Structure 1
Amino acid sequence: MQRCDYYLCLTIYTFTFITGFPANILAFYTLIRKVWRKPAPIDILLLNLTISDLLFLIFLPFKMQEVANNMVWNIQYFLCPLSGFVFYMTIYNSTFFLTAVSVERYLGVAFPIQHSLWRRPIYAVFASIFIWVLSILHLSIVYIVPYYDPSGMVPPSRNICYEGFSDAQLEILLPVRLELCIVLFCVPLLICSFCYINFIRILSKLPNISRRRRLRAIGLALGTLLVFVFCFGPYNVSHVVGFITKSSPAWRDKALLLSTFNACLDPIIFYFTSAAVRNTLGAMMRGIWGRCWCPQTLWSSRKEPPETEKNSLPKPQEITNAL
């Protein structure tokens, strides 16, 4: 049985939950308002990615409890395959939604006129539904395998979650893991790499974009590719190694730890991709800064300004428009 290092795993899971949950809640609030007012394809894709990350974080405490209990599952067993299904399904959801965002951004710079003519929010909705269905169907194996016992002689262990598989279970699970690596990781990685490499190449040649915006867009593209490889690469390599050796590698749990980081790294991608998220975060920071300086503000507001200064004060409507 794989033994996840107690302090390492619990520290990473806790850090991911504490940082990722509020950041994704903020992104969800911002994107749902943006989609409700004026839906754009990229906002719909980012909203679905946020929902996927929040599902991941909601079920992350089950993994934390399992690690804290020395990898012994001591709660209701039906929560084991359910939490595992959501946990792994949302990981592969992220690969597809990050890829969809890369395709959207590439088409916007490679074919700006055609893309603007065919750019419809409904297409992003259909793409999101397709991604959810594809991930659910593929990862349903995580829910099915723990209950699969063709012999009917040895009951499945109820104190170990998603480990200790029989030979009959591994005959099904290992090829499926290899297929997950190829279809849900390698193919999206190739598409994402193609889109962002060409995105950077085209953007570097455009003369009418400021240097600051160009560097931010290029940095976002490179950062997304690094997150893709860093978070999802080692875990999917473990699928290939497991298929070759006919057993799960001992370092598989540590590779899975890197995948959890994606939930707290995605909000950074949201910040640089969506202006709505940047504006909401900026408004929150201004509010916090204003509260920190509220005594000085209240003191200064008691002073009666000269008549010339009264007439020069901006109207409330002008302040609202400036924010």
Structure 2
Amino acid sequence: MAGGEGAKEMHLNISTPLVLTIYIFTFVIGLPSNLLAFYTFLVKVRQKPTPANVFLLNLTVSDVLLLIFLPFKMVEAASGMVWNLPYFLCPITNFIYYGSIYISSLFLMAVSVERYLGVAFPIKYKLCRRPAYAAVASVVFWVATYCKCSIVYIVQYKNGPSSPIQSNESYCYENFTATQLQILLPVRLEFFIVLFCLPFTITLFCYVSFVRILVALPSIPARRKQRAVGLAVATLSNFIICFAPYNLSHLVGFVQKDSPRWRVYALLLTTLNASMDPAIFYFSSTAVQRAFADCLTGLRHRLSSLMAWCHVSCLTCCKEEDREGKASTEDQAEESKTGPPI
């Protein structure tokens, strides 16, 4: 099957309501929670920076970037997966969209390594732990990931008029020619090995070891152990649910020499990453837990005040209607006694 025909079938088969539902759910849940987490980690980094908070702050930045550009993907989905927006927004949106997948994987790995070293080698790690090292590692992650994701631009403009966005259907970064696939498929395989398998393997080892060490220590409070388990489960679930299917499509596509039809659904799952990361933030930091709790308390208070106001307004309206009804009944009774006017 040619790359263009495969893209057409994939776009015709995907459910637009499903795509919009996932995009809207991610945006509504992810944006406020990530902004709250971003503010919390920013305050902590300014006050007393730690490597973990530096990594988590960068992770929130990645999620917020994705969420800022997500409305463009919503417009695409609402248009039947046809790109009707200005041409230049297609590569920019996909550059941020795909970059967030792999930058998130790297920062989740970095957090897991930091947690593991903190419990496996507490004294040695405390002596050499520096927030500046985390800042340098963060810059390397950003640069390396987005240099790799520049393939979006290379493929987008490869072969001039044959580029995906130039076709009559105006699909954005899906309708590939055979020449473009020769470039893209090996790069995807490299993404699968270097930017997914390696971070996932390291993260799995670190969190399994991290939880095993904490559970074995009798002096550790039960609440901290529960937080450790929750952090490990949330992170590994993120990898398995959001990133694994999409990255496996790289391997399948390389073997089949074409993008598999289910790839569009796997790509859709990666969007959920921005709504699942807040769970990781919650288990990673007591400050985020307090911020989320305060926010929920404030929302509950405002909702209670709104419900009380609505209740009072309804009672007031009902009383007024009762008074008007009684007045009308009394007028009718008076008319029946006196008879109709002559």
Same fold (TM over 0.5): yes
1:218 Cα deviation after fit = 1.6
Is residue 84–residue 143 contact of structure 1 (8 Å, CA) maintained in 2? Answer: no
Q: Match of 2:34, as an amino acid?
A: N
Q: Which residue does the alignment assign to 1:49?
A: 59
On the 8 A contact 1:92/1:185 being kept in 2, the answer is yes
Quick one: which of 121, 134, 148 aligns to 1:138? Answer: 148
Q: 1:216, CA displacement in angstroms?
A: 2.2
Alpha-carbon distance in structure 2 between the residues aligned to 1:30 and 1:114: 28
Aligned ranges for residues 139-158 of structure 1 at < 5 Å?
Answer: 139-149=149-159, 154=162, 157-158=165-166
Distance 1:101 1:157, change over 3 A: closer
Distance 1:245-1:208 versus aligned 2 partners, 3 A rule: same
1:122 and 2:132 aligned: yes
User: Are residues 285 and 5 of structure 1, via their aligned partners in 2, closer, same or farther at CA, if it must alter by over 3 Å?
Assistant: closer
The residue that corresponds to 1:283 in the other structure is 294
1:214 aligned residue:
225
Aligned pairs (5 A) from 1:1-323 = 1=7, 2-3=10-11, 4-149=14-159, 154=162, 157-158=165-166, 159-289=170-300
Distance 1:137 1:272 in 2: 31
Q: 1:225 to 1:154 in 2, by over 3 A?
A: closer
Q: Are the equivalent residues in 1 in contact too, given 2:164–2:172 (CA < 8 A)?
A: no
Give the root-mean-square deviation of aligned CA atoms: 1.7
Deviation at 1:288, TM superposition (A): 4.2
| TM-score (norm. length: structure 1) | 0.87
* Identical pairs, percent: 55
* Residue 135 of structure 1, CA deviation: 0.5
Tell me if the contact between 2:200 and 2:239 (Cα under 8 Å) persists in the aligned partners. Answer: yes
- CA deviations on 1:200-231 (whole Å, 9 max, x unpaired) are 21112111012222122122212211211111
Residues 20, 264 of structure 1: 8 Å contact kept: yes
Distance 1:15 1:293 in 2: 25
| Counterpart Cα distance in 1 of 2:94 and 2:215 | 43
The 1:75/1:195 distance shift into structure 2, 3 A limit, reads same
Q: Distance in 2 between matches of 1:163 and 1:101?
A: 33
Distance 2:118 2:299 in 1: 36
Q: CA deviation at 1:5?
A: 1.1
The alpha-carbon deviation at position 290 of structure 1 amounts to 5.2
Counterparts of 1:154 and 1:215, CA distance in 2 = 54
Preserved CA contact (<8 Å) 1:102 1:195: yes
User: Using a 3 Å threshold, how does the CA distance of structure 1 residues 52 and 156 change in structure 2: closer, same or farther?
Assistant: closer
Equivalent residue letter for 2:176: F
Task: Output the CA distance in 2 between the equivalents of 1:127 and 1:182.
Answer: 20
Deviations 1:156-197 (A, max 9, x none): 543111021111111000000000010000000110011011
CA distance in 2, matches of 1:175, 1:293: 56
